[in-house]
Amino acid sequence: MNRHDTIRLAMLPTPFERLPRLANALGGNDQAPSIWVKRDDCTGFAGGGNKARKLEYLLADALKHGADMLVTMGAIQSNHARQTAAAAARNGLDCLLLLTDSVANRGEVYRTNGNWLLDRVFGAEIRLLAASEDSSMIAMETMAGLTAQGRKPYFIPVGGSNALGSLAYRDALLELAAQAKDEGCRIDRIVLPTGSGGTHAGILAGVEQAGLPWRVHGFSVSRSSEQAQAVVSGLVNDIFGLEGRQRGVIAGLDVDDAQVGPGYGQPTSAMIEAVELVARMEGILLDPVYTGKAMAGLVSLVRSGAISPDETVVFWHTGGAPGLFAYPETFQGYSIEPKSGIHFSEKSDAITNR
C-alpha cells in the first residue's frame, strides 16, 4: 500500500511547530523539555483532524469496491463520524452514522451542537442508539439490510481504525521524520491520545520501519492500559500483515490510563487546565475528549520529572476542536491569571488560579 492507493482529502504535510511558551510555563527554559507539536488538527478537511488521513485510504477502498454509501459508528460527538460524513459528501456517496448516546451526564447541547451539528450539515443520516444497545450487532444487521435492499454499503470501523486506515499513520510518521530532519530536531518522545488505537498503531509501525529510537507514549481516553495496549498491538500486527510481514511482540508499546478519569468523554480538572493552558500560551485549541486529556498527561509527566529537561517531546495533535462546542458548561465559571502561575484548584465546580 502507498499514497497511490488513496483519495486525497487532507492538506499535507501538516505543520510541525515548536511550543516555547508552553515549555516556559511548565518550568522555564532550563527546567522543561523542548516541546513541539505535530498539527494534524490542520489537515483542513471538514474541520481538520487525524481521521482525514485514514479516510484517504478507506475511501479509496470503498470506491474501488463500487460502494454507494459509507456506514460507520461512534459516540454522539465522534470526530471520525463528522469527517466520514464530509468524505462521503465530497465523493457523491450517501452516509449513515450509527451514533451511540454513551456519554452520561451531558447536557442538551451535547446532543445538538459540535460534531452532531456538523454531521447534519454534511447531509449524513443519523441513527441514534442507546448506550445499552449492542452497536456492533446493529452495524452488522444494518449492513445486511442495506445490501438486501440493493445498496452497496462500505463499513468503516470506529475511528477508521483497521489495518488499512491505520496505515495512514505510518505515512504520517515518516512525514514527521522528514520534517524533524529539516528542522535539525532530535526527537526523544511522541505523546498522543489513544482511543480506537489506529493512530498510535500506525505511528509505532512507522517508527519501526524508519528504525528510529523514538518512544511513543499514548494516553488512553477510554480503556485500561492493558486493554488499550492489546488493541494497539493487534493493529500494528495487522498493518504488517497487509505488507506480508509477520510480527510478534511490539517493542516500545506504552499506553498510560492515568488521564481517563471517570470515563470516555467525561471532563477532568486536569483536562480543563490543559485545554486552557495551551490555548492561552500558544493559541492552539485542544478538545475535551482526546487531546485535552493527552496534553494533561504530558503536563503531568513534565511536572513529575518523568520527562527530563533535556528531552525533546512531540505532542501529536489529532484535532477535535468542534467537540468544544458540545461542552460549554465545562469551560464556564473559572479564570486564570497568566502571570501569577498556572496552579489550578477546584472551587465550587470551577477551576481557579490563586
**Mean pLDDT of the 209-216 span:** 94
Q: Give pLDDT tens digits for 184-194.
A: 999 999 999 99
The reply to whether domains 3-48+162-353 and 51-160 share a CATH topology is: yes
Three-state SS string across the chain, please? CCHHHCCCCCCCCCCEEECHHHHHHCCCCCCCCEEEEEEHHHCCHHHCCCHHHHHHHHHHHHHHCCCCEEEEEEECCCHHHHHHHHHHHHCCCEEEEEEEECCCCCCHHHHCCCHHHHHHHCCCEEEEEECCCCHHHHHHHHHHHHHHCCCCEEEECHHHCCHHHHHHHHHHHHHHHHHHHHHCCCCCEEEEEECCCHHHHHHHHHHHHHCCCCEEEEEECCCCHHHHHHHHHHHHHHHHHHCCCCCCCCCCEEEECCCCCCCCCCCCHHHHHHHHHHHHHHCCCCCCCCHHHHHHHHHHHHHHCCCCCCCEEEEEECCCHHHHHHCHHHHCCCCCCHHHCCCEEEECCEEEEC
The band of 140, judged by pLDDT with boundaries at 50, 70 and 90, is very high
34 is catalytic: no
Q: Give pLDDT tens digits for 259-305.
A: 999 999 999 999 999 999 999 999 999 999 999 999 999 999 999 99
pLDDT at 14 over 50: yes
Chain-wide mean pLDDT for the chain? 92
The band of 310, judged by pLDDT with boundaries at 50, 70 and 90, is very high
Residue tagged active-site, from 34, 78, 102, 222: 78
Q: Give pLDDT tens digits for 230-242.
A: 999 999 999 999 8
**What's the fold here for domain 3-48+162-353?**
Rossmann fold (3.40.50)
**Mean pLDDT of the 125-129 span:** 97
pTM, two decimal places: 0.92
Given 3.40.50.2000, 1.20.58.740, 3.40.50.1100, 3.30.70.890, which CATH number is that of 51-160? 3.40.50.1100
pLDDT at 52 over 50: yes
Q: Where are the domains of the chain?
A: 3-48+162-353, 51-160
The band of 31, judged by pLDDT with boundaries at 50, 70 and 90, is confident
Predicted pLDDT of residue 172? 98
**Mean pLDDT of the 194-207 span:** 96
